[in-house]
Structure 1
């Protein structure tokens, strides 16, 4: 059984509880790999945003620290869920792919027919790719595409990236060390030498527990969307993990979170004056199917213009998204500038001072 249900929690408090779960309040996480492992999977479609998302959760971390984790394989980047890139702990990638891949590949079957990608084509590309990265070598996307073309496999019109995606989904390849702002591809088994082995039911329960601990308060529907796992299977996993969570009733909806974060309710949840400059695509905003708790629906289009799936950088004050921000100018003239949702209500003195501290932290991150 889950711990006692709590009620009458405001949206702002719910938002601050999520900040606490995600390591965005207090001491954060102890190192880059620990932050990614605690979050389980972090959206990383935009690499530069993902690097800052990790850095925000590790006090004192610099850009070089996060890049080093990708270079040495203590953090990996692949397509485990929703057909988009995420950062994960290396030991978690294979068992998550075992849960999610079949459904994702099924969902792209129509597109692959349009691109004339067959199982024989994938096997041909697998042989070519593994030959190219044999012996621990790393290959760029361009090198892989060139090798595919030489083997008679067209790569234009997104055919090449879909072939690469399929090879990563099947744990043949994984993105490895950085080459500037791109990543090279390496052999999965060579780069990830130790993987956890979880069956489907056990794995779904593990993934559900870790999501709710790292993102809570969150709902089962939030997790089903985030993980691409059918809600019926998610519900079957609840009895296996509910004893390790706290259930919270908010406006008639059941949310779940860790006991450690729920305990903050006893003495008042911190972060009322905390101001953060979140990157685009940050899990605090993106990681839920219903974002209305922290992002007022009337302003959602300002974070995801036109609902196009591209998330802008967000200013968060006291657990609520209050605007966007941008880095304007170059060199010494560069400045991090907030853009409040409501032009008639700019940040007050305290919030503006908090944002300036957040901007200074971002600049220090980029410089180190």
Structure 2
């Protein structure tokens, strides 16, 4: 395992890689309102950037690095001055890091946009018949669909801001979303999660045990438990859900330390954003006492796999691009790889968590 000094150097490299991300015309994904979609460039308000900012915010909380705080504050100042995009599940993602920034600084200029955004989620966000938020995004309406992505992109914000603002209704809504998504997306036989569910036919699409979707859950549940005070029964239930899932994922880890983009399909390619997030969850879960030495060992193997995929330019390689809902498993095998904000962020979270181990050595 890398030393604290080497881990920090890798983290700094990842941050520079994140800030340098630019859309260069690789993907044409126009939004529903006719504007161009940019899911790559750092200076864009969308879900990949939101997850990237979350990695920076968690790094700042743990390390106290003033330069990272400056990056966050400058980013939000620019975006708020430009005006926020239309609200949907994915455009909520950048609000999560903003909630962490505000919870630490209590700067009043950050709260008004979050308060308004949260109120509109409760009042206007489309829901499926079970009350789960329908996974509508900037370029598509996904009628009657639940996706595991929703929990990381939206529910964590409600929990974090709700906790900081003393809004029990927001925390309760976040907890409900985790519980209702568990009912429809968690596979009882394995503990793994499917990518999505549709009420139009009542099925899990391709029944894809998609790696990054599973990583949204493993990292997201553990972070939810940290970000908000949940009722005891909810905390106990979600702790069991993530424990069961991580035990299943350990058994599917490849010899390289990575996970395949379909975790139960060794013929699908190894995918590093999911590997980073699952490794983060394993190391964090071990630190919190949820899992034994096997969790730590598997997390360190994931760390090795991740660091091998960090290029000299700070970009994380072998990260699958944004993934829509697949109706067959081949769809997931064919997703192209491309550097992304979430690839950078999940690697940052894993390496920051690894600093705890390095400091003990």
User: TM-score, normalised to structure 2's length?
Assistant: 0.30
Instruction: Give the number of the structure whose residues are more often strand, by fraction.
Output: 1
Instruction: Give the number of the structure whose residues are more often helix, by fraction.
Output: 2
Structure number with greater Rg is 1
